[in-house]
Amino acid sequence: MNPEILAITMFFMLFLALMLGHPLAFSLGMLSVVFGVIGWGGSMDAVLGLLANRAYGVMEEYVLVAVPLFIYMAQILDASGIAERLFETMHIVMGRIRGGLGIAVILACTVFAATAGVVGATEVSIGLLAIPALMKARYNIPLIAGTICAGGTLGILIPPSIMLVVYGSLTQISVGWLYAAAFGPGFLLSAIYVIYIAVLCTIKPEYGPPDTGPEHSTAEKLSMFAKSIVPPLILVFVVMGSIVGGIATPTEAAGLGCVGAIVLAVAYRRFSWKIIKEASWSTTLTTSMIMTLFLGGNAFQAIFMGLGGGDAIAGFLLGTQMSPIALLFVMMGIIFFLGCFLDWLGILLIVTPIFIPVTQELGFNQLWFGTLICINLQMAFLTPPFGYSLFYLKGIAPPEMTIYHIYKGVFPFVAPPEMTIYHIYKGVFPFVILQWIGLIMCIIWPDIILWGPRAFFGASVG
């Protein structure tokens, strides 16, 4: 069989395995072995030798040491009570305006995302606090669901995002450059969400009535602001500043962040050995999952590219004679589609070796394109049927918030409850639309992404 046809068959067999419910990591690894043996004349030794070398290469990747450290930092921060203080402060400052509590959720998620770097910690920590307050204020339940889901996804884009660390490892782009590039899109999306909630609650005041709780003096607000927001911002400055300023590597900065998170837990009187133990165990489980996927993905890449699959797809895309911008939207559309069925890591491992040669041929700035991918991958957390943010919210939602409300929160036009999930899938996803708007803005105005890297690293970044 032609090697290129074999590679394409391998790609479609991956989707078949996933549709049958097999775990992604083991599907990637098993298909690599099977198609490697077929493609290389039945030589099991050659295939296993190649895969062993790729696995060893992953273990030698120094920047990946930052992944468990950033996860550990997020776990400690989650237990330290920072999210609670952030939301309480934002609640008091913003709660007395229409949609203010919803805006407070987005702002709290934005600040916490800049310290945590993962979606789960951001969404669960803020969601547990926000849902009772929003429901007590009689907010529209679908708006509650959509706001918390969208705010939580900021944790995978705003540095210190572990997704950016992994992407930097896969493409050999400086993690410092990626971090500097991601700040603009991250805060842009946060601003878009805030504007959307403010406009919606102005048009429909019943969706986000103002809080009627006790008023607080300016002095009280300033005191709460100083105690709840200034410490995590200092931690962000230390971690991000040391990376972007070239003082520390991402791994060294992540270690510094872990120390800072423990100091904050002590300062907030939340530190205990139980927290350390639970954070260590959670970090071990999450890191093991990520590295297993990484090994399977690297094996798949090695065989798929070795069989000529990457060249075949790149040749097909370039041979369509479409304009560069049209090809860019095709690639973004493919990533968006994959996000409905795969998690962000699986998508990165599959599409990166295929799309990077295409974008290099088209002359795209690789830092800009990589950041566009990471913006797009936020949507994978929100798009059914496998949007992790929906499941995170379902896990912490009270009984009165059903999965219907959660789906309705992310689809603006939804059928009545008696309709099936298939009808719901036909709706339009408002926060995904907002993310697409942010993505298109970053395509039209590349400086949204590139201003940060240029400011810190000079014009050499493009």
Count of positions (residues) in the chain? 462
Distance CA 369, CA 350 (A): 16
Looking at residue 85, its pLDDT comes to: 77
Q: Is the peptide bond before 160 cis (omega within 30 degrees of 0)?
A: yes
Distance CA 39, CA 15 (A): 19
What pTM was computed for the model?
A: 0.82
| Burial class of residue 206 in the structure, from the number of CB atoms within 10 Å of its CB (0-12 exposed, 13-18 middle, 19+ buried) | exposed
Looking at residue 213, its pLDDT comes to: 62
Query: In terms of C-beta distances under 8 Å and separation of at least 24 residues, what long-range contacts does 422-426 make, across chains too?
Result: 424/384, 425/384, 425/385
Query: In terms of C-beta distances under 8 Å and separation of at least 24 residues, what long-range contacts does 267-275 make, across chains too?
Result: 267/231, 268/80, 268/81, 268/82, 268/85, 270/79, 270/80, 270/81, 271/80, 275/76, 275/79, 275/80
How many CB atoms neighbour CB 375 within 10 A? 26
Q: Please, what are the averages of pLDDT over each run of 10 residues along the chain (462 residues)?
A: 74 79 81 82 75 78 82 82 77 76 86 76 75 78 82 85 87 88 92 92 83 68 75 82 80 87 85 88 85 82 77 78 89 88 81 86 91 90 73 65 58 40 43 92 93 79 60
Looking at residue 42, its pLDDT comes to: 65
Looking at residue 36, its pLDDT comes to: 83
Contact 3, 308 (CB under 8 A): yes
Residue type, 255: G
